A and B are shown apart, each in its own frame.
Chain A
Amino acid sequence: DQQVKQNSPSLSVQEGRISILNCDYTNSMFDYFLWYKKYPAEGPTFLISISSIKDKNEDGRFTVFLNKSAKHLSLHIVPSQPGDSAVYFCAASVDTGNTPLVFGKGTRLSVIA
């Protein structure tokens, strides 16, 4: 049973436009959410996080939105750049990051020049 779901395996976006990656979760105990980015032959790298006490967190071109009632979060990248092409994983944790992260299956983003 997947507690963290990324239902879109892939997404293709033109350079300069907005990329929106979605993530749904089922465990209402999750209170800390993160996005990781992964390039081929590398380990995942942390991108941005959000605590359940917030509904938005922004870091440069990256913004994460959290809708607790819908158990849904999204990552917005604007403007998208070719270097953003990677696999993006949504992850969640209970107890504000004090328990191991549970990951989704990932979404492969391709930004086309």
Chain B
Amino acid sequence: DTGVSQDPRHKITKRGQNVTFRCDPISEHNRLYWYRQTLGQGPEFLTYFQNEAQLEKSRLLSDRFSAERPKGSFSTLEIQRTEQGDSAMYLCASSLAWGELFFGEGSRLTVL
């Protein structure tokens, strides 16, 4: 399978714990995006990378959130001190510079 893969697919955690999600993009894609989707909403942009450079961050990305793409390949999204409001589907997508986004299946986070 050469699509975007995300891990884990589901994560249940207690409030205050840290969680980390991983995204492996399509290999030749130089752009990688993180979006968040809550019930009844469309995907909301969080941040994106071109190669290893983080080019833009949404104001939705609080100080508790950090994303990295150390070698311009896979990316991680870490949420520290999780809150119940962080419960959502976290979607990763990749693209070529001018192409449409290809999404992974998402990582669903539930914070108890």
Contacts and interface: CB of A to CB of B under 8 A. Distances in A.
B56 A49 contact: no
A97 B42 contact: no
Contact of A104 (B33, B42, B104): B42
Main secondary structure of the interface of A (DSSP, over half): loop
Interface in B94-112: 97-106
B45 A102 contact: yes
B103 A45 contact: yes
Contacts of A105: 40-42
A100 B4 contact: no
B42 A106 contact: yes
B43 to A, nearest CB: 5
B44 A49 contact: no
B42 A100 contact: no
A44 B103 contact: yes
A10 to B, nearest CB: 11
Contacts of B33: 100
B67 interface: no
Given A43-B105, A104-B42, 14 more contacts: A4-B42, A9-B40, A34-B100, A36-B103, A43-B91, A43-B93, A43-B106, A44-B91, A97-B99, A97-B100, A101-B45, A102-B45, A103-B43, A105-B41
